[in-house]
């Protein structure tokens, strides 16, 4: 199922325009306006402002199933270093995760499907804000996404550097990890650096807590249960000759299983408190549960793989890939509606740089492949 040459040209133009004008989470005003305008031009009914800056376009073709197709729209706070002619014009902001490509692919699919008369049912094209750590998927769900636009199933797609162009990959169960954050404040008693015995050295305590936290993964959780616990910040002290009375540790935890996730939270609090206590200090733990794991349902994965198998440009399909320990707020949509999240390979003749790298750029060769998958998925779901 190929995408028309004119639509491919439009997708490239949309993608590069969006790349040049990136917008951060919940600031996707220009992006949402472009999306709404193009959806309306295809004859779709359009709802804006859902989840603050989200957009939903609806294609109705009578009675039949209803499917939701989702793309994310936001950029990242990164200074671009691609040197592309269409590079970001906004200092410190760039599309380093390929959401510009996701928007263009779904718009291309909407344009293609709008001309089709052989469908029976409804397609909701969901353009979501604020995927990058701000929970735009949750915002759309809480704002009534599936109440206003009921779906039998919902699907997400993400470009994936490291997979060859034309490779489609998904799996049953958890495909992306949960994302939680923690902040541990170590409170002690400040003193002169020459007289440490007169105080409680919060930096020593913080150092021991950091090391002790790593035993959670190595010794307290079964090796068959994937967990990544990373300490990413340590702050404390302002002078060479002062032992500070406070130190702060921050980091993230990623899990695939909900029970393991809760257990890790308990262990972080217990280890921080116990380690601090052995030194006469206190540890205050602020543990925040963020994105849940992204969990695919078996039926939806089967549908996604079958649809991908009908696209000539998708040359490899993988249904048993390992999960990623990165996170994705499409998880909130899958909590509210069954569905599947998948990856599409973007590595062409030249291997793509990693996501979130200042030199990353979405491979435009993937645009017709992704749009064709979306079209095939809608056709497969809405067969008369």
Could you tell me which residues are annotated as the binding site for Mn(2+)? 97, 99, 132, 158, 356
Residue 155 phi, psi dihedral angles, 5° rounding: -135, 145
Taking alpha carbons only, the member of 3, 373, 377, 7 closest to residue 159 is 373
Interatomic CA distance for residues 298 and 303, integer angstroms = 9
Is residue 209 within 8 Å of 275, Cβ to Cβ?
A: yes
- Report whether 192 contacts 340 (CB < 8 A): no
- Bridge partners (DSSP) of residue 125 are 57, 69
Helices (H), the chain: 5-20, 29-41, 99-114, 136-142, 145-148, 202-215, 258-278, 298-308, 331-336, 367-381
CB 211 within 8 A of CB 318: no
Which tokens in the block code for residue 5? 């040459």
- Residue 346 · residue 88 · CB < 8 Å: no
CA–CA separation, 69 and 92 (whole Å): 30
Q: What is the DSSP string of 192-211?
A: ETT-GGGSB-HHHHHHHHHH
Helices and strands (H, E) in the chain, number of each type:
10, 17
Q: List, in sequence order, every residue forming a beta bridge with 371; answer none if it has no partner.
A: none
CA–CA distance, 370 with 382 (Å, rounded to integer): 18
Which residues make beta-bridge pairs with 249?
A: 184, 234
- For residue 81, what are its two tokens? 């270093």
* Residues 79, 77: Cα–Cα separation, whole Å: 7
Strands, E, within 89-179: which ranges?
A: 121-128, 153-164, 167-169, 173-177
Closest residue by Cα to residue 353 from 363, 343, 364, 344? 363
CA distance 373 to 341: 13
Residues contributing to the annotated binding site: 97, 99, 132, 158, 356
CA-based max dimension of the chain: 82
């Amino acid at each position: 199922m190929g995408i028309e040459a004119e639509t491919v040209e439009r997708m490239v133009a949309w993608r590069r325009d969006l790349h040049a004008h990136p917008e951060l989470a919940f600031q996707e005003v220009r992006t949402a306006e472009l999306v709404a305008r193009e959806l309306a031009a295809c004859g779709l009914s359009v709802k804006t402002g859902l989840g603050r800056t989200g957009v939903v376009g609806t294609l109705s073709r009578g009675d039949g199933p209803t499917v939701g197709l989702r793309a994310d729209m936001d950029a990242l706070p990164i200074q671009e270093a691609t040197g592309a002619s269409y590079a970001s014009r906004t200092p410190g902001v760039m599309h380093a995760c390929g959401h510009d490509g996701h928007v263009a692919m779904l718009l291309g699919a909407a344009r293609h499907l709008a001309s089709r008369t052989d469908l029976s049912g409804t397609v909701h094209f969901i353009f979501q804000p604020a995927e990058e750590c701000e929970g735009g998927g949750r915002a759309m769900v809480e704002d009534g996404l599936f109440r206003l636009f009921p779906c039998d199933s919902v699907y997400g797609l993400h470009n994936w550097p490291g997979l060859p162009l034309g490779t489609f990959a998904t799996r049953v169960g958890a495909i992306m990890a949960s994302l939680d954050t923690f902040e541990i404040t170590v409170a002690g008693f400040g003193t002169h650096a020459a007289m440490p015995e007169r105080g409680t050295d919060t930096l020593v305590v913080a150092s021991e807590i950091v090391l002790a936290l790593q035993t959670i993964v190595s010794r307290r959780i079964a090796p068959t249960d994937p967990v990544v616990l990373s300490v990413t910040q340590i702050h404390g002290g302002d002078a060479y000759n002062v032992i500070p009375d406070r130190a702060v540790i921050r980091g993230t935890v990623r899990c695939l299983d909900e029970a393991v996730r809760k257990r890790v939270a308990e262990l972080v609090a217990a280890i921080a408190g116990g380690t601090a206590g052995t030194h006469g200090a206190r540890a205050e733990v602020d543990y925040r549960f963020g994105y849940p794991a992204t969990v695919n349902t078996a039926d939806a994965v089967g549908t996604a793989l079958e649809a991908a198998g009908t696209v000539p440009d998708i040359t490899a399909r993988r249904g048993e890939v390992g999960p990623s320990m990165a996170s994705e707020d499409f998880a909130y949509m899958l909590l509210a509606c069954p569905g599947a999240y998948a990856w599409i390979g973007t590595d062409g003749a030249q291997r793509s740089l990693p996501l979130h790298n200042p030199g990353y750029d979405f491979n435009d060769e993937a645009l017709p492949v992704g749009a064709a998958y979306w079209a095939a998925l809608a056709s497969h779901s809405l067969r008369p």
